Each structure stands twice: as C-alpha cells, then as structure tokens.
A = this chain, B = another copy of it.
C-alpha cells in the first residue's frame, strides 16, 4: 500500500520506518521538499519525498504534524481527502503546563480534524506512541479509534505488518480518552523517569 505522510519530524520518521519495514511504500510530503527528500532517503528505496502539493494517489494519509498543523492541512486538503483514510496522530496538549488539553470542551482533536475535512475517514492512531519507540524494533501498542470500521481495520493491518499491536477501541468518540491519557503520559515523564521512551500499554 502507498501511504502519504505529511511532515518530517520524529513522528513522521518513526511511522515511516515502521511502514517501510512492514513492506509498504511511503511518500513524505513537506513544505520544504529538501527535508522531505532527506527523510525519504533515510527510509530507503521504498520512500520518496515530495513537496506539500496533493494527496492524490494515496489511499492513506498520515498527518504527522502538531495539532494546529494537522487541522490546517485537513482544511486545506478537505476536498481531496473525501473518502480517504486520514490518520490523526496529534496530541492537543498545552505544552506550557502539560496539565490540560487545548481542545474545546467535549471535542477531541480527531473530532476537529473530521469537521475540517468532512467525508474523510479520520482514524486516531499513534498518538500514544513516542517516536523513540517507533524508531526501535519491538512490540508497541497502537490504539485506534474512528467511526468507520473498515478504516480502523486497514490501519490495524498496517500496524500488524509493522510489528505493532493494534488495539481497536471503536468509534471516534473514544479518541478523547486516548488524547487525555497521553496528556498524563507526557506530564509524568519526569516523575517516572520515562525520558520520552515509555509506552502506554495494556500489558499481559
């Protein structure tokens, strides 16, 4: 499958690595085409870089961007995202305090992205996986929420291919819980000496 990842940060790199390892083709899109090309080169022969032009040709788009950037691309590309699977990985955290989310009451970032791109199949995933863990090998739980069961299933398949354990939690309304727990996961990194390398897990 061909997956378009928007962004060139650590999360774009981590998800890209996993997807390529899983046997998928990856396109990296960014405002700075050089950065996209650099990341694609690091990912190997199954990855290409491109400017931030179009989602055409991609069945799955990963918004590997912060909260505001994710909403912006969803708005900008609203027309071309209709019918496509849009993976929202963002954490709408107040980075000044790490003590609250910045989403409107009762709404998740995934809800807002779905509102910005009506007709897109928005799937929350990868918001609880730190980039450092994606970049390594080894199991990792990926929590998946979205209103279209077949979209969740496809994302779960991408995870399984990439040695990740998908945990399908159901409808998009549950994305709020994933964002809320990840706020706490980020908040306590110092206390638990996590150093941004821990993983939210339903451990056996």
Chain A residues within 8 Å of B, Cβ to Cβ: 99, 105-106, 143, 165, 167-171, 174, 176-178, 180-181, 183-185, 187-188, 191-192, 194, 197-204
A105 to B180: give the CA distance in the assembly, Å. Answer: 15
| A191, B177: Cβ atoms closer than 8 Å | no
Which residue of B is nearest A193, CB measured?
B204
* Majority SS at the chain A contact face: mixed
Query: By the criterion CB–CB under 8 Å, are B181 and A167 in contact?
Result: no
Copies in the complex: 2
- A170-B198 in contact given A180-B177, A181-B180, A203-B203 (Cβ < 8 Å): no
**B199 touching A199 by the CB < 8 A rule?**
no
User: A3 vs B188: C-alpha distance in the bound complex, in angstroms?
Assistant: 27
State whether A202 and B185 are in contact (beta carbons under 8 Å apart), knowing that A176-B180, A177-B180, A180-B177 are contacts in the complex.
yes
Across the interface, A177 reaches (CB within 8 A) one of B143, B168, B177, B201, namely B177
Among A105, A169, A174, A177, chain B packs the most CB atoms within 10 A around the CB of A177
